[in-house]
Amino acid sequence: MNFHWIKTIYRFIADQPLPKGHLLFQRYTIEEVIGMGSYGITYRATDFITGNHVAVKQLRRTKSWTEEGRKSFEKEKQILQELSLPEIPTIHPHTANEKGQFLVMDYVAGKNFEDLIFSEGKVYSEQNALAIFTQLVSIVQKIHEKGIIHRDLRIPNIISSGEKLHIIDFGLAFKLSDEAGGKAAEKHRNLMREVSVTSDFYALGHFLLFLLYSGYEPQSKKENSWEEELSLSPGVHQMLRRLLQIDESFGSAEEIIAEIYSMHLTKEAGKTM
């Protein structure tokens, strides 16, 4: 057995999730695992004092042995504390015990857009997609106003709860003023990981594409670009090109919202002509 496989097996054993029924901090009963990422394991748990559900994120033990892992987890905790927004899970005080390091947060009841699109077959018209997208951009605007970028606005991290949206998983988030941002930019050479507001806009473009593709049925086996496959209004098409940085990127979330508002006015003017 080579060293790689020994290391893999060791990590598998060390990073085993907490079992169902485990009592954490003498308060939170683990119910189930709801997510497993490269750095953390997230559980749904019950707070036996309040009776409410909470989300508990555990730093993987193998990551807790590295300085990078510990700093990343601490940074996520600080960012959640600073945000304090209704669309972002509120963080609770407990952080560590003999089982490791934890973040205890409000549990957001709802479904993420990965499940809505791929498991439930939800289809969004351009109008519906744009309404959802506008609400999401408004939340991102609030996050940016606090000097923070998310850097992981993928469909599993956007939750639909009734008529409201929530953003979760700030494990890759950065403060725009953080000196470590430069190092992160060097390490992640792709548009979604840049330490800039444009990285969130790039991710938002892909989020919107997932919504718009939800009702798409291929006409041939040949795979084409989204510009060839989707029938979009000129305004949405142009906005996507800017979000995906094909054309000059937007400079702020406010600018995106203004663009959407401009499209709406143009559409309404067209109806009255």
Binding site for ATP, residues? 57
Residue 126 Cα to chain centre, angstroms:
22
Contacting residues for 243 by C-beta, under 8 A, at least 6 apart: 201, 202, 204, 205, 208, 249, 250, 256
Binding-site residue set: 57
Both structure tokens of 205 = 């473009």
How far CA 179 is from CA of 29, 71, 174, 186, 201, in Å, comes to 38, 14, 10, 12, 22
Task: Yes or no: say if 171 and 39 are a contact pair by the CB < 8 Å rule.
Answer: yes
* Residues identified as active-site: 152
